[in-house]
Structure 1
Amino acid sequence: MAHLSQERVQQLYDAFGELKVLDDIVRHRSTDNPPTPILGYPRFENSVDDYERFTGKQLDEFIDATVKVYLASGLEPDTRATVALLAPSNVDFIVSVFALTRLGYSVLCLSLRIAPLAVINLLKKTDCSTIIHGHSAQVKSTVERVNQDFQIRALKIPIRRQYDRPNSGEAPFVRKYDREEENKRIALILHSSGSTGLPKPIMLSHRAILTHPTQGSGLHNFNALPWYHLYGISTSLQAMWMRKTAHLYNTSLPLTSENLVAVMKVIRPEAIHAVPYCLGLLAEKKSGIDAMRACQVVTAAGARTPDELGDRLVKEGINFGVVFGTTEAGLAGDSMRRAKGDNSWNYLRLYANIRKYVYMNPLGDNLYECVYLKGHPALSTSNSDFPAPGSWHSRDVFSPHPTIPDIWKYVTRIDDRITLVNGEKVLPLPIEGRIREDPLVRESAVVGVDQPIPGLLVFRAKEADHMSNDAYIESIWPSVADANSCAEAFSQITKEMIIPIPSHVEYPQTDKGSIIRAQVYAEFADEIKEMYATLEGKQEGTLILDQVELEDFLMKAFKEAIGVALETPETDFFSAGIDSLKAIQMRRVIQKSLHLNGQVLGQNVVYEYGNARRLAHYIRCLREGESQVHNDESTLMKELIKKYSNFEKQAIITGATGSLGAHTLAQLVAKANVGTVYCLVRGANPRQRVLDSLTERGLQLSSAKEAKIVALTSDLVRSDLGLNPSIIEKMRKEVSLIIHIAWPVNFNISLKSFEPHIGGLNNLIHFSLSVERDGPAQLFFCSSISTASNTRTNAPVPESAVENFAFASNMGYAHSKLVGEHIVRNAARAGAQTYVLRIGQIVGDAENGIWNDKESIPLLIRSALTLKALPAMSQKCSWIPVDTLATAILELSQSLTKSSTLNGVDPRRSDIFYNLVNPKEFSWDDLLEELRAAGLQFETIPFTEWLQKLQKSATLGQENRNPAVKLIEYFKTSYGFDHGVGDKRVRFETKAAERDSATMRSPPDIVKDGYVRKFLRSWMRRWG
């Protein structure tokens, strides 16, 4: 890294304070004395042998002339409009970017690679109706196709001969504007690559862009990235602002090692900023290595740099490091600022000025997602309120350095992780990066979503065109084997799972040279499907062997094919280290080699028969059509005892992304007798959302406990629960407990709108009845006390069915829960092990006091911050902490397991209902007193007076400060009675709950045990 004196750094920051708009960079440099070149570009469009260098004054004149060309074309100054720019990233493009912002426009910079459909989508999302385009046939064709479906105004981009002309003496263009206001306006709109769908626009204000110039190295640099990518813009602006030359690559020339080396010889840069692909091309030639070694700085960004490439560059004496950033949040850190002798080039050091705005969110397996927090100076968007409102989850995954604290290695994108059918996650980028290093490989892509093992598409380099597929695979196998040596067992690639693709076949890629994974999978779907069909393999071999010969064949095959030497035919496969990948490989070897009488071996055949002797016996019986009986009766007896003595509980839980679900899940996986817990989640990224929910509630799990969680995207409305048939079948054999928590908490929708969820309950009950292990699985339906909150008797609500529908609260939510209760009772009568948990007010946990502050009671209490008052009420409260409730549910499951029979509910017991409310009540007055003692300042006033204050707060537009105003009608209905506060209160009996749960017999005292103070502390951290 170039050394900048403290004085120089201070000068840069002082001057930077004057920058308010993008155009200021050129305007400031236009007055340099002596003038310094700040932009370099090849003089000729087809050559790299002569670079022109433009001073700030020249650029300023070019920009002014271009402004006048646009004015002449009818493009008037406008600070509210967006103009799209679709052209090669050359001097014309850069001049137009500055000219359009000088006119006041927001500039949408479009990649030349995206399709017309994507262009239209971006134009619509940015409300843009004008496009300025390049002069090539390709660009014109794109514009014409866009115009067929979306009416636009199209203008040609001014070219050199239009703006590079003698000064005519005209006064320069001037637009008056408020610099502070302009600073906040959108200057540039970039877009995502579209690797997971249509590209998304990313808005960058002048202020956000101007966070970049002072982060540079203060060196003449070379940049091979276009100006419609932030890294290209950023590194160019850094050089331009620091009075250095930003050299660009000639966009009309192919990006080859020969052309890049030629560029280096001409411009001799002090710094190179490029994507890894570009550096890999330079590294192909000794002259390219020499050129990089001569630089003070070489950086890579925009994609993951393969470890092999980075290690090689560092070993060659190149001062190499990676830079990490995103279009949405700018640059976050680099690996250049490391101590002498520290070769951890692939570990980022976050920049000091943004470190406090970056949160590394644990994903498990020592992986973390980078999350940017509100307050980050360059953050332009948000997509989550976790871990704080206004956060942006980048989906970039990192791992920490094993010994150096607070430095991070980029691993992959969450979207790039490939989930196999068994739930294992393959990280493709390290595998692909290593294989891509092979000179015979142009690109590689790991495949295998929802398959038993991963596969590989390998795109040949031209040098390999003459080879047959088999010869090619053998030639690149050392690179694949090396990649396998660093990958987990389930992620390793076998020879038969490699598909070579000819060198002339193109593949979807971003402007940075990275594959667009989803599009690659779609484009090569037939090849991938054929590869896995071959793996399934209905073909069979010709060998016919007897029992002893089969055992010998298997012993030899295990050793030669997968490298596992079995001591005896009775050696257990699993104990010998045969993992799922090796088991699948062996199944294929057996299928291809042996005569099986037309039968197809099951995918799990190796594990099912456990050792070579039993597997040989099965194969012989399969071939000869005999019944498959083991000769060794004692061995079979031992196997059956082992198989049916497994009492480990497997469970299903819905609603694990909510508070009760998260606490129940955490307690379930902590139990020694619980194995897998299947979390059924609506929508994408189920595991990440479940883990986020746990983290959000301060629930930390060990890797062993986390490994018990299998999160699946599910649709309960479907009879198969929206799950893969093999998963459903597996769960039918294992699951003994179902806890159904998920239910929309929406008090405004009608009963009819809840019908899909009622149908989902029905599907879960049917599934519980189909479970093969020890009869029907237990199913707990989490209902609500709202099903009986309008009870019109003085006696407590019993733990039994609510027969009078009028006793339910008058809202669709309560009605739907009551319908669910009756369905559960009818199922129990039909032999299901189904139970109703009628749950009261759930509050925060004992450890952290985390209680969702968007619920009605927290919002009511929050109103004290604005109104300085809380209402007096004669209520009695029976609140139950969420962790206490989770414990009680699991205790009920254990108690009922002991008393149930194989035919459903024990006929000696008629009760399947439990009222789960806290038997230890406290008064509303006790609550107010405890809140006041905890430091909350308010006066106690009559409810009607408090309601009037709340209504006034609403009329004053204080919804953000006092969100309780959104629930005025709810408060009026729930607590108001004849212009006052009703004293009608429904009590719930808890005898059955206390009988079957030790926790319910001795619940916490919310006031005396300090829960209220914990709730308030937790809320105040959010309310500020």
Structure 2
Amino acid sequence: MSHLSQEYVQHLYDTFGELKVLDDIVRHRAADDPQLPILGYPRFENSVDEYERFTGRQLDHFIDAAVKHFISSGFIPNAAETVALLAPSNLDFVVSFFALSRLGYTVLNLSLRIKPIAIINLLQKTDCSTIVHGHSPHVASTVHKVNQDLPVKSLRVPTRSDYDRLPSDEPPFVREYDRNEENGRIAVILHSSGSTGLPKPVMISHKALLTHPTQGRGMHNFNALPWYHIYGLSTSLQAMWMRKTAHLYNTSLPMTADNLVAILEAVQPEALHAVPYGLGLLAEKQRGVEAMKACKIVTSAGARTPDELGDRLVREGINLAVAFGTTEAGLLGDTIGREKGDNSWNYIRIYANIRKYVYMNPLGDDSYECVYLKGHPALSTSNSDIPAPGSWHSKDVFFPHPTIPDVWKYVSRIDDRVTLVNGEKVLPLPIEGRIREDELVREAVVVGVDESIPGLLVFRAKAADHMSDEAYLNAIWPSVADANSRAEAFSQIATDMITLIPSDVDYPQTDKGSIIRAQVYKKFEDQIKGMYAKLQDNEEGGLKLDLPALEDYLMMTFRDTIGIPLKSLETDFFTAGVDSLKAIQARRIIQKTLELNGNQLSPNIVYERGNAKHLARHLYALGKGEEVQQVDKTSLMRQLINKYSGFRKAVILTGATGSIGAHVLAQLVARDEIDKVYCLNRGDRPMQRILDSLKERRLEVTKASKAKILALTSNLSQPGFGIDASILAQMKKEVALIVHIAWPVNFNISLLSFEPHIAGLHNLLRFSLSVQAPQPAQLFFCSSISSALNTPCPASIPEAPIEDLSRASSMGYAQSKLVGEHIVRNAARAGARSYVLRIGQIVGDAQHGLWNDKEFTPSMIRSALTLKALPSLQERCSWLPVDTLATTILELAETLAASPTPLGPDPDEPSIFYNLVNPHVFSWADLLAELQAAGLEFRTIPVDDWLRLLDGSAARGDEVRNPAVKLIEFFEDNLKGAEDKGIEFETAAARRDSAALRSPPRMIEDGYVRKFLAAWMQRWA
């Protein structure tokens, strides 16, 4: 929208409200400005260098004439039926499409590539019995074959001579209908490509289809996609609605580089919309590159644009963007609106108006499936009730941007991923896209489903017909090697796992030029089986070696052939980097080289023997015909358990010098799986202050545990926290958990004074999203129950967001905590694994009973030694020991470590809130009774009487003996007229995810109050 004037944007939205049916796009433009060109098409069917532009009035006239043509052929207005349109996507198609819609029919747009059996299936599923078809022999033959199995009414599509006639005095066709009802009717039916079976119909209502026009950028465009694909249809509608001209491709001409260049030079569009195949053709010619550079925007859609092609075009100065969408849900987002200098052309930004209806579902290995939620304005189907009823799992797989939150790169379909027998998932599209860039390659297809390693089918380009297989493989190997260098080790293609296919052999492909993977696998099944049969070729070599020579041979083979130098004979193969692919390669080389006395090596021999020393002994015994020592499986199991049971991670902790932070730190470093704790602190000597805090709380830390602590002076409000860039980079590689406790506990300062700390929370959240790990780091924000204490009573506070900001206590501290909660919630919506811990009254630890006696409750109890009285309060207490809280936090982190941010009943609302209060509640009266039973002498008096005694103690200067006088203003503000507010905090989620809260300590019954008092008396005496 940034390309349009503010006035026109307002006009657009004002007028858009009048749109109720698809046909209104043309009607509005015809009435708005009769001379406004909204459609461009070649003047001659066999020419690309002269385009005719039709005004809204002309197109409206064409449509009206076509309507009358259909009526004369037996079509009935408002028949509420479906008509199939099987014809080239040209001017005749466009006019017929609008005319059928104007009559009230639902239009089933059929691809020209699908087979008769697929058309029959779509007709049956949509209750369609009429086909309007093109004039070509191919289309006529297809309709004839359909009729043999499913008799249908057929009519040839009207041509220009049928509808381009001089206007007559006959009034235009007008159909009466209820606009609100029409809005919900199906306007068009598109269909899937059929790559995993028969194509499936996708119903799109008028309302859903009309969400597309407003996504345009207001540019004259050229569209190289047919109207039976959603992107071709939607981008044309965008231009027409935005008062621009939508130019169509001449479908009577083959799509070649020369034709595309000639079209662009003739049309000179501001925006070019094409499939990656079309961009690749244009990129072959320098004139094509120059023509694309002349466009303000070049977009690619319909299939994944190879990174190599896109990067090359961007380097040429082309403003390349990708748009991503589905037939079932329309456009998801694009990369058009990037800031200047942002070259992340292949990472889409989801449109703001639909973002809340999109859930990125983690699949592991840092990939996410795009799930559309009920309420999405263009969603036309559903296939799951997870994460919420009415969801649609698209099977489209994305990677998040490494540093920019909520920006996504499409990588593949779930169906496209090649899953090896060991469970590793190969992403074929990047590999295929890079190899396809080679001018000698027509197509490349990765294979290997349920096999041990991936293979590759390479379809020769005609330019390579003169080359022998060996010469051809050598010629394309640099491209394969480059693709391997960008892929994970288990995804790399070995030289002997490539099968070459001649240039004259066709392969199944979609209208967009992309392969239909399942059909390719089926068609070339014999070639694929033959390639993998070679892996089982157990032909034995003839090389005889003694044991020392065998050891040298293995060291040399792994160094020179496998590419893994071993430090010693005892070096573990796996640890050295021998992955499953290299292990299989090594096994094949050994089998074919050495004389093994007729023995066949186990497929997993390299891993079974573990290192070169053990493998050499095994091979020597086989060659000599000696008894082979079997591996002790039980012993090996123990070794593997020990070897792979270490799951180590790093943690960021703020507030480590405070009570909660000290206990969290002590428990963190005591855990074997924690490798390092980065303690971010303000001020100098952070390590010494942390150690002093641990010592003060009697928290013993071993020397080994202490070595895990890295204390850093930092400023969270600064970008990068004000710490060394190299340390920050290391943290991004290691950190899996962030526990953010640090926050000024000052009840007197205003909300604005907390802004640096709010900024610090924001920076930590951004950091959590940028870590170089399989998924964002967890972040736990320690909030406070004070964020809800102004809720009208009685109330039960759920573990959910607090929408009414006035519910926070009047203190700036409480208000800042609620602000923080909303920021964490918004981060979770954007993909962060962030959680809110709403913490209640925290008391001393369970082991030693150490509770800071400067806090208001201990200070009040201490006043009994001087005043011999304590106030009678109508209050319920929900106390939680500080070490129990620390355990609860770490248990929540462990429970949620492998889980996505869960969704609550509302699909838009991440369930990330926990109320951390003790479920066991006791009254203030019970507390006073327990203190008296423990030997503390006092009488219970009304609050006003106690405040008068406290005021008198202050007048006498009793601050040393009675520190409560320092808090006299706080007590007066909070105790006068105080009564139990009747506010409870629900803890079901916290108890579900934390064992410590499922069996919480009971303060009175379990003796904690007496333990606190005993610890205090040792100090107060």
Residues 650 and 490 of structure 1: CA distance in aligned 2, closer, same or farther (over 3 Å): closer
1:575 partner SS: helix
Q: Which residue of 2 aligns with 1:75?
A: 75
Specify the code of the residue in structure 1 equivalent to 2:256: T
Quote how far apart the aligned CAs of 1:504 are. 1.4
Does the 8 A contact of 1:364 with 1:703 survive in 2?
A: no
After superposition, give the CA deviation of every residue in 1:617-653 in whole Å (9 maximum; x if it has no partner): 32333334321249xxxxx89x9855556667999xx
Judged with a 3 Å threshold, the aligned counterparts in structure 2 of structure 1 residues 850 and 602 are, in CA distance, closer, same or farther, namely closer
CA distance in 2, matches of 1:385, 1:649: 40
Cα distance in structure 2, aligned partners of 1:79 and 1:12: 32
In 2 relative to 1, CA 109–614 (structure 1 residues): closer, same or farther, beyond 3 Å?
A: same
Mean Cα deviation higher: 361-370 or 620-629: 620-629
1:587 shift after superposition: 1.1
Aligned equivalents of 1:459, 1:225: Cα separation in 2:
25
Deviation at 1:560, TM superposition (A): 2.0
Matched AA of 1:201: P
Structure 2 equivalent of residue 66 of structure 1: 66
Q: Deviations over 1:576-603 (max 9, x none)?
A: 2211111111111122223334433221
Distance 2:490 2:774 in 1: 20
Q: 1:75 to 1:935 in 2, by over 3 A?
A: farther
Q: Which amino acid aligns with 2:65?
A: A
Partner of 2:757: none
SS in 2 for 1:574: helix
* Residue 348 (structure 1) aligns with: 348
* Mapped partners of 2:413, 2:583: distance in 1: 29
Say whether residues 1:278 and 2:295 are aligned partners. Answer: no
Q: 1:628 to 1:42 in 2, by over 3 A?
A: same
| Structure 2 letter corresponding to 1:475 | A
Write the distance in 2 (CA, Å) between the matches of 1:452 and 1:67: 60
Specify the alignment match of 2:944 in structure 1.
none
CA distance in 2, matches of 1:494, 1:646: 29
Q: Distance in 1 between matches of 2:640 and 2:188?
A: 62
Number of residue pairs aligned between Structure 1 and Structure 2 = 682
In structure 2, the residue corresponding to 1:30 is in which secondary structure?
helix
Q: CA deviation at 1:568?
A: 3.6
Distance 2:283 2:301 in 1: 16
- Does the 8 A contact of 1:441 with 1:458 survive in 2? yes
Distance apart, 1:432 and its partner CA: 1.2
- Following superposition of structure 1 onto structure 2, how do residues 711-790 of structure 1 map, counting pairs within 5 Å? none
The reply to whether residue 170 of structure 1 matches residue 170 of structure 2 is yes
Give the match's secondary structure for 1:31. Answer: helix
Give the aligned residue type for 1:185.
R
Are the structure 2 counterparts of residues 75 and 1002 from structure 1 closer, same or farther at C-alpha, using a change threshold of 3 Å? closer
Q: CA deviation at 1:22?
A: 0.9
Aligned partners of 2:364 and 2:774 also within 8 Å: no
Separation in 2, partners of 1:846, 1:298 = 46
Q: CA RMSD in A?
A: 3.4
Aligned to 2:870: none
Partners of 1:83 and 1:1005 lie apart in 2 by 71
Distance of 2:32 and 2:101 partners within structure 1: 22
Structure-2 separation of matches of 1:285 and 1:597: 60
Q: Structure 2: how far apart are the matches of 1:532 and 1:850?
A: 42
- Residue in structure 2 matched with residue 179 of structure 1 by the alignment: 179
- Counterpart in 1 of 2:519? 519
Pick which of 616-625 and 606-615 moved more: 616-625
1:34: how far off? 5.7
Structure 2: gaps of 5 or more residues: 646-670, 674-768, 776-893, 906-981, 987-993, 1006-1021
Give the SS at the match of 1:80.
coil
One-letter code of the match for 2:529?
A: K
2:467 is aligned with 1:477: no
Q: Match of 1:434?
A: 434
Contact 2:33 2:56 in 1 (8 A): no
Flag the 1:1005–1:66 CA change in 2: closer, same or farther, 3 A.
farther
Structure 1 partner of 2:958: none
- Counterpart of 1:981 in structure 2 is none
Q: Which amino acid aligns with 2:253?
A: L
- The aligned residue for residue 734 of structure 2 is none
1:852–1:305 distance in 2 versus 1, CA, 3 Å = closer
1:315 equivalent in alignment to 2:295: no
The aligned amino acid for 2:506 is E
Q: Which residue of structure 1 lines up, in the alignment, with residue 90 of structure 2?
A: 90
Post-superposition CA distance 1:207-244 (Å, at most 9, x none):
11111112111111111100000100011111111221
Query: CA–CA distance in 2 between the matches of 1:646 and 1:53?
Result: 72
Task: Tell me the CA shift for residue 539 of structure 1.
Answer: 2.4
Asked if residue 505 in structure 1 is aligned to residue 500 in structure 2, the reply is: no
Q: Deviations over 1:146-178 (max 9, x none)?
A: 112212111111112222222343222221111
Shift of 1:111: 0.6
- Asked whether the equivalents of residues 572 and 610 of structure 1 are also in contact (C-alpha less than 8 Å), the reply is yes
Q: Offset of 1:615 from its aligned partner? A: 2.2
What is the alpha-carbon distance in structure 2 between the residues aligned to residue 271 and residue 233 of structure 1? 15
Which residue of structure 1 lines up, in the alignment, with residue 395 of structure 2?
Answer: 395
Q: Work out which of the two has the higher radius of gyration on C-alpha atoms and give 1 or 2.
A: 2
Sort the Cα spacing of 1:585 and 1:35 in 2 relative to 1 into closer, same or farther, 3 A: same
Contact between 1:2 and 1:296, CA under 8 Å: does it hold in 2?
no
Report the alpha carbon displacement of residue 850 of structure 1 after superposing the two structures with TM: 10
Deviations along 1:331-363, one digit per CA (max 9) or x if unpaired, are 121111111111111111111211122111122
Q: Residues 464, 497 of structure 1: CA spacing in aligned structure 2 closer, same or farther, 3 A cutoff?
A: same
Paired with 1:262 and 1:363, the residues of 2 have a C-alpha distance of 45
Could you tell me whether the CA contact under 8 Å between 2:34 and 2:55 is conserved in 1? Answer: no
Partner of 1:29: 29
- 1:113 matched residue in structure 2: 113
Aligned to 1:201: 201
The answer for the alignment partner of 2:617 in structure 1 is 617
Q: Is the 8 A contact 1:2 1:219 kept in 2?
A: no
Instruction: State whether residues 272 and 298 of structure 2, in contact with CA within 8 Å, keep that contact through their aligned partners in structure 1.
Output: yes
Q: 1:239, 1:704 → 2: CA distance?
A: 42
User: Does the CA-based 8 Å contact 2:42-2:48 persist in structure 1?
Assistant: yes
Cα distance in 1 for residues equivalent to 2:186 and 2:38:
24
Aligned twin of 2:684: none
Is 2:126 the partner of 1:126? Answer: yes
What's 1:656 paired with? none
Q: Deviations over 1:784-835 (max 9, x none)?
A: xxxxxxxxxxxxxxxxxxxxxxxxxxxxxxxxxxxxxxxxxxxxxxxxxxxx
Cα deviation, residue 454, structure 1: 0.8
When residues 149 and 642 of structure 1 are mapped into structure 2, their CA distance, relative to the original with a 3 A threshold, is closer
Provide the rounded CA distance (Å) in 2 between the counterparts of 1:83 and 1:934.
61
Deviations 1:658-686 (A, max 9, x none): xxxxxxxxxxxxx999xxxxxxxxxxxxx
Structure-to-structure mapping, 1:458-477, within 5 angstroms: 458-477=458-477
Quote the Cα distance in structure 2 between the aligned partners of 1:466 and 1:521. Answer: 27
Contact 1:134/1:140, CA 8 A, preserved across alignment: yes
Deviations 1:496-555 (A, max 9, x none): 111121111111111111111111111111111111111222223333333333333222
Whether the 8 Å contact between 1:445 and 1:457 is mirrored in structure 2 is: yes
- Deviations 1:226-269 (CA, angstroms, capped at 9, x unpaired): 00001000111111112211111111221111111111111111
Partner of 1:38: 38
SS across alignment from 1:359: strand
- SS of the residue corresponding to residue 574 of structure 2 reads coil
Q: Distance in 2 between matches of 1:554 and 1:382?
A: 56
Shift of 1:1003: 6.7
Give the Å deviation of 1:45: 2.4
**C-alpha distance in 1 between matches for 2:331 and 2:462:** 36
Q: Does the 8 Å CA contact 2:109/2:188 hold for their aligned counterparts?
A: yes
Match of 1:7, as an amino acid? E
The aligned residue for residue 48 of structure 1 is 48
Structure 2 counterpart of 1:67, which letter? Answer: V
Q: Contact (CA 8 Å) 2:274, 2:299: kept in 1 or not?
A: yes
Alignment of 1:325 onto 2:330: no
SS in 1 for 2:592: helix
**C-alpha distance 51-417 of structure 1, shift in aligned 2 (>3 A):** same
Q: Give the Cα separation in 1 of the matches to 2:616 and 2:535.
A: 21
- In the TM superposition, residue 274 of structure 1 has moved relative to its aligned partner by 0.8
**Does the 8 A contact of 1:335 with 1:347 survive in 2?**
yes
* 8 Å CA contact 2:441, 2:460 repeated in 1: yes
Shift of the 34–87 alpha-carbon distance from structure 1 to 2, 3 Å rule, reads closer
**C-alpha distance in 1, partners of 2:774/2:71?**
66
Q: Which moved more, 1:512-521 or 1:23-32?
A: 23-32
TM-superposition CA deviations, 1:54-97 (whole Å, max 9, x none):
11111111111111221121121234210111111111111110
Aligned to 1:291: 291
